[in-house]
Amino acid sequence: QVQVVESGGGLVQAGGSLRLSCTASGLTFPKYTMVWFRQAPGKEREGVSCISGSGLSTSYTDSVKGRFTISRDNAKNTLYLQMNSLKPEDTAMYYCAAGPYPLCISSWPRFEYTYWGRGTQVTVSS
């Protein structure tokens, strides 16, 4: 049975940093593109970042470019999102998801993802 579990969220002041982790079990982790989505109250879900199975292909939504870094450790079945220079508008529930895609092409936020975690809350105070 596949399990996807996020961790690392919390409350941080604007300008601060957090590192989110996502551990997946029950699947062949290197075969899956991994992504982070977020959803703030009253807003649509937004694709934040994507990384291919090899880690060689990555993509970011414009609002986080230069501040967030996605990475993965295939030996540990773990995905990361390093978030620096956090802003109040980054406040959201952050979800990790896995999909059987080879690359992170520009339309990746519109793909269907097979496995999802339950999310971890990130709150940035001003």
pLDDT band at 72 (very low <50, low <70, confident <90, very high): very high
* Residue keyed to tokens 């080879």: 102
Tens digits of residue pLDDT in 73-91: 999 999 999 999 999 999 9
The pLDDT assigned to 9 comes to 98
Q: CB-based contacts of 17: which residues, under 8 Å, 6+ apart?
A: 82, 83, 84, 85, 86
How far CA 21 is from CA of 35, 52, 106, in Å, comes to 12, 16, 23
